[in-house]
Amino acid sequence: MDQAEKLRELVRNKEKNVGDKLQYKNAKVFAITSGKGGVGKTSLAVNVAAFLSKIGKKVLIIDADLGLSNVEIMLGITPNHTIRDLIKNNKDIKEVITKGPFNLDFISGGNGFLEMAELSDVEREEILIKLQKLDEEYDVILIDTGAGISKNVISFLMVADEIIVITTSEPTSITDAYSVIKIVKDKIEKPDLGIIINRVKNIIEYKKASSLLINTSKDFLEMNIKNIGFIYEDSCVRNTIFKKTPFVIYYPDSQATGCIKYIVEKLEFNYEEKTSGLITKFRSWFKNVGR
């Protein structure tokens, strides 16, 4: 079965226990998702991408928040094409890549098109199959999904090697993150899942949020969820929009940049040897955090 056929089967199959995960030969594919909107998915994607690019990796960001794309705003560039052109104008995937600043490539999800939020299964499948062509071109592909749960979001999660759920320390943001995790568990066989808590004011708040996340459900501890880290509440993050530059580049010594560096290490991207033993699963993490 070739890659496209395997992907078709995977995407069509909505039930657990059937699809094995798509294996990429080259690129490591991360999908960044959340329960609530506005919790920091795009800030994370753009800055992790910029950090990886700075250390010499070939990185692509896919803005899969279809119809509400923000990556171009953070990078201060107008894309010539968007994901919409893949399906509405039958463009090839390579034609819709925008060469951004800081050696970053991205694909815009387009802005202001309701039809992008209402794609048919066939259109969605077409996008995912076309994305396969990029496997050889990049070391890392970061997919910035929309918030919440929709068919669009689930499709992109299905083709990721690892799913990163980002939440703030707000209780409702945490319970929504947990709902997303539950749905992912339901739809995807043995997903690789990691959590990031964003906009943390101090370590005490981080520990409280972690405990709440773990206490949200008894079966949480049974899940193999990686604690990837946290990001401080930091005005540098907001300034990304005004400076049109990722904060890891504009503010290399900021607290938030330190957090991104740590997160990149935890993502194990070509850091396997350096970080082996560092990866914390929630179970052991919880012991340290305490109830």
Ligand X SMILES: Nc1ncnc2c1ncn2[C@@H]1O[C@H](COP(=O)(O)OP(=O)(O)OP(=O)(O)O)[C@@H](O)[C@H]1O
Does 165 carry a binding-site annotation? no
Among the listed residues 50, 209, 231, 263, the single contact to ligand X using CB under 6 A: 231
- Judge whether 243 is annotated as a binding position: no
* Token couple for 149: 């749960």
Whole-Å CA distances, 158 to 47, 224, 270 = 23, 17, 22
Binding residue for ligand X, selected from 35, 40, 110, 194, defined by CB under 6 A? 40
User: Which of these ranges, 30-38, 75-83, 86-94, 134-142, lies near ligand X under the rule CB under 6 A?
Assistant: 30-38
Nearer to ligand X, 10 or 200 (CB): 200
CB atoms within 10 A of CB 80: 12
Q: Report in angstroms the alpha-carbon separations of 288 from 6, 108, 278, 285.
A: 41, 40, 14, 5
| Amino acid in position 254 | S
Candidates 38-46, 97-105, 130-138, 216-224: pick the segment binding ligand X (CB under 6 A): 38-46
Taking the complex as a whole, how short is the minimal distance between the CB of residue 116 and ligand X, in angstroms? 14
Chain-centre distance of CA 87, in angstroms? 23
What mask of x and - would describe binding to ligand X in positions 157 to 176, judged by CB under 6 A?
Answer: --------------------
Q: Is 200 annotated as a binding residue?
A: no
How far apart CA 286 and CA 280 sit, in angstroms, is 9
Single out the residue of 178, 221, 154, 179 nearest to residue 16, CA to CA: 154
Asked if 65 touches ligand X (CB under 6 A), the answer is yes
* Among 234, 246, 257, 263, contact with ligand X (rule: CB under 6 A): 234
Phi/psi class of residue 122: alpha, beta or left (left: φ > 0; alpha: ψ in -120 to 50)?
alpha
State the minimum distance, in angstroms, from the CB of residue 147 to ligand X: 4
The C-alpha atoms of residue 4 and residue 76 are separated, in whole angstroms, by 34
In one-letter notation, the amino acid at residue 271 is Y
Cβ proximity to ligand X, 23 vs 242, nearer residue: 242
Q: Is 258 annotated as a binding residue?
A: no
Q: How far is the CB of 25 from ligand X (least distance, A)?
A: 29
Closest CA to 213 of 121, 148, 289: 289
CB closer to ligand X, 235 vs 284 = 235
Residue 101 makes contact with ligand X by CB under 6 A: no
Closer CB to ligand X, 227 or 240, in the complex: 240
Q: Does 56 bind ligand X (CB under 6 A)?
A: no
Q: Helix-strand-coil percent breakdown of the chain, rounded to 5?
A: 45, 20, 35
Q: Summarize as ranges the residues that interact with ligand X (CB under 6 A).
A: 34, 37-43, 65, 70, 147, 198-199, 231, 233-234, 237-238, 256
Residues in the annotated binding site for ATP: 36-43
